[in-house]
Chain A
Amino acid sequence: MKNVRYVMVILFTLSLAACGGGAAVKSEAPADEQGAAGVETGAAGGAGAEGEALGGGTQVAMAAPRPEKMRVLFEFDSSAIDSESRAIIEAHAAYLVANPNVMVTLQGHADERGTREYNLALGERRGVSVERMLRVLGVSSERLTTISYGEENPMALGHNETAWRLNRRVELAY
């Protein structure tokens, strides 16, 4: 899995480099679409390493690059958005405003502590909290869907704060 992820990241970097090179002479829209496809693949390969910026993103499009970070994290039993998450959501909002055909699913999750049904509601509240901020930033509500998975789809399987922190999340899928 780790190897696959490396290959993905390398392919992703190459594809971004290729797109970046091409984008300079082509119109913006197709370049964006190719960039988006690249990220999709990366995400599917489990780009769990918080998708650190690879340096390619800024080359793709000038006005609104496709954000690298597809996930925001939360404190225990909280749906409050901290400054780090705010920056990530703002980047997504900018991209989504520039790309009005993109539909987004906000997948809300909770860690394993607390009861399952409460966590289903908590995951929903986290998703809605991100959804609300995207709306305030100009993304129309018809483009946004929130789905809560509660604690049922953990990203990390441990029973400690390291795992719990990664599992208290909203993933932006598009």
Chain B
Amino acid sequence: MPKQLLYVLSFLTIGLHSVASQAVLTIEITQSAEVGIPVAIVPFGLEGEGRPLQNVSEIVAADLARSGRFSVIPKQDYLSTPHTNNDVVFKDWRLLKAEALVIGNQREVSPGKFEVTFRLYDVFRENQLAGFRYTVNVGSLRRVAHQISDIVYEKLTGEPGAFNTRIAYVTREDTASGLIFRLQVADSDGHNPITVLKSRQPILSPSWSRGGKRLAYVSFESGRSKIYIQNVADQKRQLVADFDGINGAPAWSPNGRRLAMTLSKDGNAEIYVLDLDTRRLQRLTKNHVIDTEAAWSPDGRAIVFTSDRAGRPQVYRMKANGSNVERLTFEGRSNARPSYSPDGQMITMVTEIKGRYHIAVLQLKGKQFQVLSDTPLDESPSFAPNGRMILYATAVGGKGVLASVSSDGRVRQTYRLEDGDVREPAWSPYNRKLELKE
């Protein structure tokens, strides 16, 4: 009996522990675009009985404010609170200098099922720019909100949004019983974090498959580096690389059928491609230096990687079969961990300048090289799927945090955890959208 009690207690302790450490990332804008588009977001009308609801409009307002490209007019200034097309008085919004107006309604149509409608208006032209209706379960309300944010963002900036996406990252927590590492996946606003893997040993290099369904990553849980693939939804996983030496730097091919990786089984770190269907392993590099950190071009025809074949680490590109190797970087003392923008036009990487490590972007046409961060230990950059932001790891006051910067360097944010460090971020590709009508 005491043994059972002890079991229950330890179970409870673990339970509490994981809840406490699954704290939501707090996102803070550290630099905004000089002039954001002024937009008014009226709190959506709430219809139906029951518990207090998450108001979708609040999530939309937070998304747009956080992007740094909008100035959300405070709701206490609003002269009217329309929920339907007929209630909109454009003069009220011109007085507030709003350029755009978002209104909507959320109604519980059956227990746990909601209909969400929203409309976006151009205040000066007095016309509707978008209007949609969704019918979803209560658990998808946040997703609906992010999808509305994406539509508003695209209509007003002309570029696709990336709110309805997820981020993967690794947390490191120093507890009384030792270090705990977690591979986490959360919505792009840091909400709904789930733990993909919890381990006492380091976890690194999460890489998303096409569509954001699976993650490949490196785990030291067995005492040395091995590569695993795991479904995000049902947590099912498989060991895919357990060779002698290092097993590192997994990177999905765009079609999701192959995985590039770094293995040292043949003597030193080389890049290989594993065909996930046939399990055939193809070696791409062959020399006595370090070749690692492979990343595929969006069309799957090229691979960029880090190599120290010229003495210091630099970024190279080769065809996906390993031929036609060319050096891409000549700026800075060293350059590493490259990855492509979704349009294939740019590469983001870590550049070393006078012993400090910053995030940089290289335009493949014209070779323009721009340094985007100024903190000393920045690493692991990846593009958002809309190509507008780059998410990376940095340190603030000795604590590991994530940061993002717009690819023009104008908007900056930090993502921090109250307890513990956060590192190794990877922004998901777009996932399937919820169905919408109208």
Contact in complex: A120, B306 (CB < 8 Å): no
Chain A residues within 8 Å of B220, by CB: 149, 152
Q: Is B204 an interface position by the 8 A CB rule? A: yes
Task: Give Cα A121–Cα B313 distance, bound, in whole angstroms.
Answer: 12
B424 located at the interface, meaning its Cβ lies under 8 Å from any Cβ of chain A in the complex = yes
Q: Is B342 an interface residue (CB 8 A)?
A: no
Say which size band chain B's interface belongs to.
35 or more
Q: Which residues of A contact B223 (CB under 8 A)?
A: 147
Find residues 193-247 in chain B having any chain A CB closer than 8 Å to their own CB: 202, 204-205, 218, 220, 223-225, 245-246
The answer to the question of A162 belonging to the interface, with a C-beta cut-off of 8 Å to chain B, is no
Total A residues in contact with B, Cβ cutoff 8 Å: 22
How far does the alpha carbon of A120 sit from the alpha carbon of B219 in the complex, in Å?
Answer: 12
User: Is the pair A118, B377 in contact by a Cβ cutoff of 8 Å?
Assistant: no
Q: Please give me the residue from chain A that is nearest to B336 by CB atom.
A: A115
The listed residue (B267, B268, B306) touching A115 by CB distance below 8 A is: B306
Residue B334 lies at the interface, judged by CB distance under 8 Å to chain A: yes
The answer to whether A114 touches B357, judged by C-beta atoms less than 8 angstroms apart, is yes
Residue of B nearest to A76 (CB): B355
Counting chain B CB atoms within 10 Å of each CB, the highest count among A120, A124, A159 belongs to: A120
A118 and B337 within 8 A (CB): yes
Min CB gap B175→A, angstroms = 16
> Is B292 in the interface zone, CB < 8 Å from A?
yes
User: A116 touching B290 by the CB < 8 A rule?
Assistant: no
In the assembled complex, B262 has its CB within 8 A of some CB on chain A: yes
Instruction: List CB contacts (< 8 Å) of A114-133 with chain B.
Output: 114-118, 120-122, 124-125, 128
Bound CA span A116–B306, Å: 12
Q: Residue B187 at the A interface, CB < 8 A?
A: no
Q: Are B269 and A125 in contact (CB under 8 A)?
A: yes
How close is A133's CB to chain B, nearest CB, in angstroms? 16
State the Cβ distance, A98 to closest chain B Cβ, in Å: 27
Query: Is the pair A153, B202 in contact by a Cβ cutoff of 8 Å?
Result: yes
On whether the beta carbons of A147 and B224 are closer than 8 Å, the reply is yes
B246 touches A159 (CB 8 A): no
Residues facing A in B328-370 (CB within 8 A) are 334, 336-337, 350, 352, 355, 357
In contact, A121 and B292 (Cβ under 8 angstroms): yes
A117 lies within 8 A of B377 (CB): no
CB closest chain-A residue, reference B288: A125
Q: Which residues of A lie under 8 Å from residue B379 when comparing CB positions?
A: 115-116
Q: Name the CB-closest residue of A to B393.
A: A116
Contact B334 A124 (CB under 8 A): no
Q: Is there a chain B Cβ closer than 8 Å to A112's Cβ?
A: yes
Residue among A114, A128, A148 with max Cβ neighbours from chain B (10 Å): A114
Q: Does B264 contact A (CB under 8 A)?
A: yes
A38 to B357, CA, bound (A): 42
Contacts of B395 in A (CB 8 A): 159
Question: Does residue B312 face the partner (Cβ distance < 8 Å to A)?
Answer: yes
Interface string of A124-144 (1 = CB under 8 A from B): 110010000000000000000
Please give, as numbers and ranges, the residues of chain A lying within 8 Å of B32 by CB-CB distance.
none
Q: Which residues of A contact B355 (CB under 8 A)?
A: 113
* Residue pair A117, B248 in contact (C-beta under 8 Å): yes
Chain B residues in 8 Å Cβ range of A146: 245
A94–chain B nearest beta-carbon distance, Å: 27
Q: How far is the CA of A151 from the CA of B308 in the complex (A)?
A: 18
Question: Which of these, B269, B337, B377, contacts A112 with CB under 8 Å?
Answer: B377
B249 within 8 A of A: yes
A118:B268 contact, CB within 8 angstroms: no
Q: Give A114 to B264 CA distance when docked, in angstroms.
A: 19
- Please name all residues of chain A whose beta carbon is closer than 8 Å to the beta carbon of B150 when the two chains form the complex: none
Decide yes or no: A120 and B246 within 8 Å by CB, A115-B337, A128-B268, A152-B204 being known contacts: yes
Q: Are A118 and B357 in contact (CB under 8 A)?
A: no
Q: Quick check: B204 and A121 within 8 Å, CB to CB?
A: no
B398 CB-CB contact with A under 8 Å: yes
In the complex, what residue of chain A is closest to B290 when comparing beta carbons?
A121
What residue in chain B is nearest A146 (Cβ atoms)?
Answer: B245
Q: Are B202 and A115 in contact (CB under 8 A)?
A: no
- Which of B248, B268, B312, B350 is the one whose CB lies under 8 Å from A120? B248
B262 contacts which of A121, A152, A159 (Cβ < 8 Å)? Answer: A121
Q: Does A159 contact B204, Cβ atoms closer than 8 Å?
A: no
Residues from chain A with a CB closer than 8 A to the CB of B424 are: 116
B108 interfacial by beta-carbon distance below 8 Å: no
What 1/0 flags go to A6-19 for Cβ under 8 Å of B? 00000000000000
- Complex Cα gap A146–B269 (Å): 13
Q: Which residues of B contact A153 (CB under 8 A)?
A: 202
Select from chain A the residue with minimum beta-carbon distance to B268.
A125
Interface core residue of B249, B312, B424 (most chain A CB under 10 Å): B249
Contact status B290-A122, CB under 8 Å: yes
* Nearest chain A CB to B343 CB, angstrom units: 24
Residues of A with Cβ closer than 8 Å to B? 77, 112-118, 120-122, 124-125, 128, 146-150, 152-153, 159
Q: List 23 A-B contacts (CB under 8 A).
A: A77-B308, A77-B312, A77-B313, A113-B355, A114-B313, A114-B336, A114-B357, A116-B204, A116-B379, A116-B380, A116-B424, A117-B204, A117-B205, A117-B262, A118-B293, A118-B308, A121-B248, A121-B264, A128-B268, A146-B245, A148-B245, A148-B264, A159-B377
